[in-house]
Chains A and B, each alone.
Chain A
Amino acid sequence: MRLDDYELDGKSYDEMFTAGAHVRPEYRALAQRLAEMTPPEVEQRQRQADLLLRNQGVTFTVYSDNAGIEKVFPFDPIPRLITGDEWEQVERGLVQRVQALNLFLRDVYGEQRILNDGVVDAGLVYGASGFRREMIGMLPPQSVYTHIVGTDLIRAEDGRFLVLEDNVRSPSGASYVLECREVLKRVFRVLFEEYGVRPLDDYADWLRDTLLHVAPRASDDPTIVLLSPGMYNSAYFEHSFLARRMGATLVEGRDLVVKDGAVCMRTTNGLKRVDVIYRRIDDDYLDPVVFRPDSILGCAGLFAAYRSGAVALANAPGTGVADDKAIYPFVPDMIRYYLGEEPILDNVRTYIATREDDRKYILENIGSLCVKQTDASGGYGMLIGTQSTAEQREEFRKRIEARPRSYIAQPVINLGRHPTIIDGKLEGRCVDLRPYVLVGDKVRVIPGGLTRVALRRGSLVVNSSQGGGYKDTWVLTGTGDEADSRPVENGV
C-alpha cells in the first residue's frame, strides 16, 4: 500500500503526517506495516472486518420515507492513535467539563445562582427545548444529573482538541467502540503486540457501577434495567449489547408498570421491583402522564415514582438544557464560575443568534460560517456556508431572523483528517472523536472513544445518518516511539 502518494490538503491537521509530510513518531510502526501490505491484503482485511461486524449484528437503522433500512456501520480498519501524554490532558479536560455541567444542572433546577448572577442568560435556559420545568426543585440521588456523557471533540488546524458539543442526554455509540476493538484485535493482531494499547474491557463494569451508585434501596442486589424504545430503534443493537454486558434486563415501556408507588417489571413470575433505569428513550416519551400523552414507549406514573425516590433514572430528565447548542458557548464560563478553574479544553468560537451583534455578524458572514439549529442533532438542520448555494443561504437567513433562539453559528473549521482506505487507496478523511465519560462514585473516561469518519470526499459531516463511518481509537500507554517496527514475520 503506497503512502508516498497520500495527499495533504495543506490546511487541516493530519493525524498521521506532519505538515512536512513526515510520519508522526507514534504512527511510524503502523505506517511501516501499511507500506508492506499489498492492496489485496488490505482489502481482504477490510472484508474480514465487515463480515465480523455483520455476523455480530453490529448494524444501525437509517430512516427515510418512513422505511427503516438496516445497515452495517461502515468501518475503516486503520486505527487512530493518541499518545498517552496527549490523552492525559484530554481526560482531565473532560472530567472538568462534566463536573461543571452537572453543577450547572443542579443550579438551574435549584437555586439558579448562575442565572441570578447574570453569567448565563435566563431566557436561553428557559427557551431550551431540553429544559423540563417538572425537574425544578428535584434533587436526584447523589446530585448527579448526567451520568453518561459523550463529548464530541475535533482537531483544530493547529492540532488542539476543541469541544464541538456535549451530549448529556443519552449519547449512543459506546457499543460500537467495544465491538470494533474486538474486530480489530482479530484483523490487526500483530499491531497490538507492537503498540501498548489501553484496553476497554472495563467499560461495562464501570457502567454498572455508575448505575449502582444511584440505587435507592439498601438492597444487596438492586435490579437494573435498560429501557429501550424497542427493536425498531436505530440504536437497538447497542441497547441489547450493553444490557447483556452489564447483566441488566433489557426492558421496553410495556414491560413496566407502577404499583404502590414503585416501578415494577412484568415477569413470568409476576411483578418485580426495579431500582435503577438506564433509559435510552427521550424525556418526552418517559411518562405519558407528565410528558407527551401519546407516548407508548414509557410507563405511566414513572416520573412520580422517580420524584419520590422509589426509582433512579440515568440520565435525569431535563439534562438536555445543558447540551443545547445555545447554552454550549457558556460552558467555559460555567467552569470558571463553579470550579474556579480555567477550562482545559476550549470551545469552538460560537455566535448566538439571539445576541444582536452576533446575529448581525452571522447574517453578514453566513457564507463562511457553519449554522446549526440549536435543538437538532445527527447532522440535520445544518448549513455549511462554504459549501452552500445562494438559495440555501437566503433560506437560512430568513429562518434565523424569524427564530433567532433556534440558531447559532461557528466558523467553518477544517476538521482534522486521518488516512482512510477509499477504493484500495489511502485518502485523508475528516474525523472527530467522541469519548464517553461516566459519573459514578468517581468520574471515569473511556480510554479512546468513537472516532467517526466522514467517508465522502471533502465532507465535514461525520454522523452515521449522513454517510459517516468509524475507526478504532487507540490510546497508547506511552508515546508510541517505543513501538518501532520489527521485521515482518507472517504479515500484519
Chain B
Amino acid sequence: MLSRVADALFWMGRYLERAEHVARVLDVTRAVLVDIDEVDPETAKSQWQGALAALSLPDTPTEKLLFDQNEPTSLVCSISRARENSSEMWDHLNQAYWSIQEAHTRGVHESQLSQALGGIITASFLWDGVADGTTARDTGWLFLKIGKFVERLDGACRLLTVRAEGPPKGAQPSSENVHWVALLRSLCAMEAYKKVHPQRVEKKHVLDFLIFDGTYPRTVRYAAFAAADFAKRCAEIHGARGKSVERAFGKIASQLEYADVSAIESGGTPEFMQEILSGLGEASSLLQRSYFLQ
C-alpha cells in the first residue's frame, strides 16, 4: 500500500474518532450544565472549562468548536479531513460532510445544537458499520483501525486526566454524582458500567471501570489492547520494519496489564494517564516513521 494512503487512512481513523468524541463530550457537558447551572454555577463553569481542556481547546467559543475550518480539532475540520482522506468510503463520508456544511449555512440554533451533535455521532456509527461491512481486511484496514484506537485511547486519557479528581472543592454534594455520571456518559459507558456496578455511582468504581475494564470497547485498557493487536497484525504483514512499532504499542498494553491499582485508588490517575499518553505519543510517531516516511 502507498505510504501516503496508509498515512491518510491512519489519520482518517483518528479524525473520525475525534469528531465523534468531541461531539459527545460537548453534548454531555451541555446536558450537565442544565442540571447544575442554577444550583451550583461554579461547578458548572468548571465542568465546561474541563471539557474544553480535555479536548485541548481551552477558551474556545462553541461556533468555532464546531465550524472553524482552521481549528484542527473542530468538528467540521475533523470530518472534512476524514473525507479528504477517504477514497474507498467516499460515498458515506460525503453525506456526513454535506450535512455538517448544511447545518452551518442554515445556522445551528441553540435548540438544534444537541440534534446536530447527535447527528455527528450517528454519522460516525453509521460509517463504522459501512466500513465494517464493505472494507477488505487488508493493510489499509489495519491502519484505519490503529488510527481509530490511538485516538480513542488519547481522548479517554485526556478526559480522565481532567476529570479524575472529581468536582472542585466546595461544590454542592449533588454535583458529585452529576460529575461521575457525566464522565461515564462522555465515554458512552453509563449502561456498561451499571451492568457491572448496579449500586450508586462511585468514584472508585468509575475510575476502575473506565481504565481497567477489558470488555467495554471505550475503556483505556480496551483501546490500548486493540491498538496493540492491530499494530501486531500490521507487523506480521510488513516483517522487520513493523517490529519496533509492535513493541511500542505492546508496552502500553503491558502498562495497563500490570498497573498498580492501589496507586490509582489513592489519587494517582492523572499521572498514570500522562504516562500512557507519553508512551502513546512515542508509539504513534514511531509508526509514522516506520511506515509512512520512506
A binding-site residues for B, Cβ under 8 Å: 54-57, 231, 240, 244, 249-252, 254-255, 257, 265-271
Contact B87 A244 (CB under 8 A): yes
Contact B3 A268 (CB under 8 A): yes
Given contacts A55-B95, A252-B4, A254-B4, contact A271 B294 (CB under 8 A): yes
Q: How far is the CA of A268 from the CA of B291 in the complex (A)?
A: 5
**Per-residue CB proximity of B89-100 to A under 8 Å, as 1/0?**
011001100100
Residue of A252, A268, A270, A271 touching B6 (CB-CB under 8 A): A268
Name the residue among A255, A265, A267, A270 with the largest chain B CB count within 10 angstroms: A267
Residues of B within 8 A of A249 (CB): 2
Q: Nearest chain A CB to B54's CB is how many angstroms away? A: 32
Q: Nearest chain A CB to B91's CB is how many angstroms away? A: 6
Q: How far is the CA of A267 from the CA of B3 in the complex (A)?
A: 5
Contact B90 A57 (CB under 8 A): yes
Tell yes or no: B139 within 8 A of A by CB.
Answer: yes
Q: How far is the CA of A255 from the CA of B90 in the complex (A)?
A: 21
Q: Nearest chain A CB to B85's CB is how many angstroms away? A: 9
B binding-site residues for A, Cβ under 8 Å: 1-4, 6, 84, 87, 90-91, 94-95, 98, 139, 143, 237-238, 241, 291-292, 294
Name the residue among B1, B84, B294 with the largest chain A CB count within 10 angstroms: B294
Query: Would you call the interface of chain A mostly helix, strand, loop, or mixed?
Result: mixed
Given contacts A54-B98, A266-B294, A268-B291, contact A231 B4 (CB under 8 A): no
Given contacts A54-B98, A55-B95, A231-B84, contact A267 B90 (CB under 8 A): no
Residues of B within 8 A of A266 (CB): 2-4, 294
Contact A251 B294 (CB under 8 A): no
Interchain residue pairs with CB less than 8 A apart (9)? A55-B94, A57-B90, A249-B2, A254-B4, A265-B2, A266-B294, A268-B1, A268-B6, A268-B292
Besides the known contacts A56-B91, A269-B241, 10 further A-B residue pairs in the complex with CB atoms under 8 A apart:
A56-B94, A265-B2, A266-B2, A266-B294, A267-B3, A268-B1, A268-B238, A269-B237, A269-B238, A271-B294
Q: How far is the CA of A267 from the CA of B90 in the complex (A)?
A: 22
Residues of A within 8 A of B6 (CB): 268
Given contacts A268-B238, A268-B291, contact A57 B2 (CB under 8 A): no
Q: How far is the CA of A157 from the CA of B122 in the complex (A)?
A: 56
Residues of A within 8 A of B94 (CB): 54-57
Q: How far is the CA of A354 from the CA of B274 in the complex (A)?
A: 75
Contact A251 B90 (CB under 8 A): no
Contact B294 A57 (CB under 8 A): no
Q: How far is the CA of A7 from the CA of B294 in the complex (A)?
A: 63
Residue of B2, B84, B95, B98 touching A267 (CB-CB under 8 A): B2
Name the residue among B4, B98, B291 with the largest chain A CB count within 10 angstroms: B4
Q: How far is the CA of A250 from the CA of B91 in the complex (A)?
A: 18
Name the residue among B2, B6, B139 with the largest chain A CB count within 10 angstroms: B2
